[in-house]
Chains A and B, each alone.
Chain A
Amino acid sequence: MLTRQELGQLGEKLAVKYLQQQGYKIVEQNYYCRLGEIDIIAFKDDYLVFIEVKTKRNQNFGSPWVEVNCHKQQKIHQVARHYISRQGYLETNFRFDVIGVFYSCSQDYQLSHLENAFSV
Chain B
Amino acid sequence: MIAKVISSAVLGIEAYLVQVEIDLARGLPAFNLVGLPDTVVKESRERVRASIKNSSFQFPVKRITVNLAPADIKKEGAAYDLPIAIGILLAQGIVDSAELEDYVIVGELSLNGELREIQGALPMAILAKQEGKRGLILPAANAAEAAVIEGIEVVPVESLSETVNFLNDGTLESGVEVDYELDLEPDYSFDFAEVKGQQAAKRALEVAAAGGHNVIMIGPPGAGKTMLARRLPTILPQLSLEEAIEVTKIYSIVGLLPAGEPLITTRPFRSPHHTTSNAGMIGGGRIPQPGEVSLAHNGVLFLDELPEFNRNVLEVLRQPLEEREVTISRALTTLSYPAGIMLVAACNPCPCGFFGDAVEKCSCTQYQISRYLNKVSGPLLDRIDIHLEVPRLEPEVISRAPSGETSAQIRERVNKARTIQQQRFTQEEINCNAEMSGRFLEEYCNLTSAGEELLKGALQRLNLSARAYDRILKLARSIADLAGVAEIGSDQVAEAIQYRDLDRDFFKG
Contact = CB atoms under 8 A, between A and B. Distances in A.
Interface in B26-43: 26-31
A84 B210 CA distance: 78
B28 A81 contact: yes
A119 interface: yes
Nearest to A77: B28
A120 B45 CA distance: 12
Given A47-B61, A93-B61, A95-B61, A116 B29 contact: yes
Contact of B29 (A84, A90, A91, A96): A96
What secondary structure prevails in chain B residues at the interface with A?
loop
B26 A119 contact: no
Interface in A61-104: 77, 80-81, 84, 90-96
B311 interface: no
Interface residues of B, number: 8
Interface in A10-67: 47
Contacts of B62: 93
Contacts, number: 30
A47 B26 CA distance: 9
B27 A94 contact: yes
A120 B28 contact: yes
A80 B62 CA distance: 15
Nearest to B27: A94
Contacts of B61: 47, 93, 95, 116, 119
Contacts of A80: 28
Contacts of A96: 29
Contacts of A84: 28
B337 to A, nearest CB: 42
Contacts of B26: 90-94
A81 B63 CA distance: 14
Nearest to A92: B26
A77 B30 CA distance: 11
A80 B28 CA distance: 9
A91 B63 CA distance: 12
Interface string B2-38: 0000000000000000000000001111110000000
Interface string A108-120: 0000000010011
A105 B99 CA distance: 59
Contacts of B29: 94-96, 116, 119-120
B402 to A, nearest CB: 76
Contacts of A119: 28-31, 61
A119 B46 CA distance: 12
B447 to A, nearest CB: 81
A86 B134 CA distance: 51
A93 B27 CA distance: 5
Nearest to A95: B61
A69 to B, nearest CB: 18
Interface in B73-127: none
A91 to B, nearest CB: 5
A95 B61 CA distance: 7
B409 to A, nearest CB: 69
Nearest to A93: B26
A81 B29 CA distance: 12
A92 B25 CA distance: 9
A89 to B, nearest CB: 9
A112 B26 CA distance: 26
A77 B63 CA distance: 14
A119 B28 CA distance: 8
A47 B31 CA distance: 18
A119 B63 CA distance: 9
A87 to B, nearest CB: 14
A95 B30 CA distance: 10
Nearest to A47: B61
A70 to B, nearest CB: 15
Contacts of B28: 77, 80-81, 84, 94, 119-120
B429 to A, nearest CB: 59
Contacts of B31: 119
A67 B61 CA distance: 22
Contacts of A90: 26
A95 to B, nearest CB: 5
A7 B26 CA distance: 35
Nearest to B30: A119
A62 to B, nearest CB: 23
Interface of B: 26-31, 61-62
Given A80-B28, A119-B28, 14 more contacts: A47-B61, A81-B28, A90-B26, A92-B26, A93-B26, A94-B26, A94-B27, A95-B29, A95-B61, A96-B29, A119-B29, A119-B31, A120-B29, A120-B30
Interface of A: 47, 77, 80-81, 84, 90-96, 116, 119-120
> Which 5 residue pairs spanning A and B have beta carbons closest together?
A119-B29, A116-B61, A94-B28, A93-B26, A95-B61
12 contacts: A47-B61, A77-B28, A84-B28, A91-B26, A92-B26, A92-B27, A93-B26, A94-B26, A95-B29, A95-B61, A96-B29, A116-B61
